[in-house]
């Protein structure tokens, strides 16, 4: 097989790999978008569960505080009655202290209840906002999921076709050349480049003159000493044709 034939197959292989790379990027974009929406819905579900559990505990504590406040109110009334029945100054002072302590505890509990009621109100607002956001996101997911899944399926089918085409082209290229090409492709998306005047059209740097003269004989592939791409010579009139540029795409 002549080097010109190998060049044609390498250019075809490079074009296929560019297509596969483009398809992979589109697949990743759509898969990430779908996964991101699903993850956001899941995160909202977890947040709502935690917020509802917290609100439930708040309501339970509010009920306990309300009960405690009612009991304190009754205790204050009983202490006032005791104060009214005091027979001497000692009993009066003791009853008065009891009333004052109970009133202070009563005020503290009322403040606790007020703060807790405010926090519960904020929690209910946060839950309502999260529920609205989840409903909107779930609606968006339901409306776009089918289309995205279909698109992913089409992209995967197209990718499979290009992979099969790649297998057919690879079978036509010497295995040693394929290994060199694939080794370079692990480091650079475009593994080949051409030159018509001694300048690598991959990195746009000039190769050594002796290497260029050797390449003009088209006996074997060289590697650009700078970008390490497989480098080959094409006449300037061929290089100027749009379809002959392997670095497109």
CATH number for the domain harbouring residue 61: 1.10.287.1490
Q: Are 210 and 140 part of one and the same domain? A: no
Q: Residue with structure tokens 């057919």?
A: 168
Q: Which residue in this structure is represented by tokens 């009139």?
A: 237
Collapsing DSSP to helix, strand or coil, 202 comes out as coil
Is 7 inside a domain boundary? no
Residues 37 and 78 both lie in one domain: yes
- Do residues 214 and 127 both lie within one domain? no
- Residue by residue, pLDDT tens for the chain (249 residues) are 788 899 999 999 999 999 999 999 999 998 998 888 889 999 999 999 999 999 999 999 999 999 999 999 999 898 888 888 888 888 888 888 988 999 999 999 999 999 999 999 999 999 999 999 999 988 888 888 888 888 999 999 999 999 999 999 999 999 999 999 999 999 988 999 999 999 999 999 999 999 999 999 888 899 999 999 999 999 876 555 444 344 433
Domain-terminating residue out of 170, 201, 223: 170
Q: Is residue 124 a part of any domain in this protein?
A: yes
Under 8 Å between Cβ of 76 and 107: no
| Same domain, yes or no: 45 and 161 | yes
5 part of a folded domain: no
In a domain, 50, yes or no: yes
**In which domain, by residue range, is 142 found?**
18-170
Among the three residues 135, 151, 170, which one is the final residue of a domain in this structure? 170
Residues 125 and 184 in one domain: no
* 211 shares a domain with 153: no
Query: What is each CA distance from 118 to 71, 112, 125, 167, 195, in whole angstroms?
Result: 23, 10, 11, 68, 75
Query: Is 222 found in the same domain as 108?
Result: no
Number of compact structural domains in the chain: 2
CA distance 38 to 130: 15
Domain assignment of residue 192, yes or no: yes
């Amino acid at each position: 097989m002549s080097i010109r034939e190998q060049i044609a197959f390498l250019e075809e292989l490079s074009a296929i790999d560019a297509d596969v790379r483009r398809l992979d990027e589109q697949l990743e974009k759509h898969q990430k978008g779908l996964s991101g929406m699903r993850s956001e819905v899941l995160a909202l579900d977890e947040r709502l569960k935690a917020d509802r559990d917290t609100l439930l505990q708040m309501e339970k504590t509010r009920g306990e505080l309300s009960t405690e406040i009612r009991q304190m109110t009754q205790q204050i009334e009983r202490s006032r009655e005791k104060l009214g029945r005091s027979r001497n100054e000692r009993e009066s002072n003791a009853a008065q202290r009891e009333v004052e302590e109970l009133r202070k505890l009563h005020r503290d509990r009322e403040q606790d209840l007020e703060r807790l009621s405010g926090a519960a109100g904020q929690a209910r607002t946060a839950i309502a906002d999260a529920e609205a956001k989840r409903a909107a996101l779930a609606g968006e997911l339901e409306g776009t999921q089918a289309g995205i899944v279909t698109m992913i399926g089409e992209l995967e089918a197209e990718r499979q076709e290009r992979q099969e085409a790649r297998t057919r082209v690879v079978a036509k290229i010497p295995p040693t050349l394929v290994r060199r090409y694939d080794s370079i492709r692990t480091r650079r998306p475009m593994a080949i480049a051409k030159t018509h005047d001694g300048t690598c059209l991959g990195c746009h740097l000039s190769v050594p003159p002796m290497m260029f003269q050797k390449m003009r004989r088209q006996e074997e592939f060289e590697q650009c000493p700078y970008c390490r791409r497989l480098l080959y010579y094409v006449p300037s009139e061929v290089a100027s044709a749009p379809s002959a540029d392997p670095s497109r795409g």
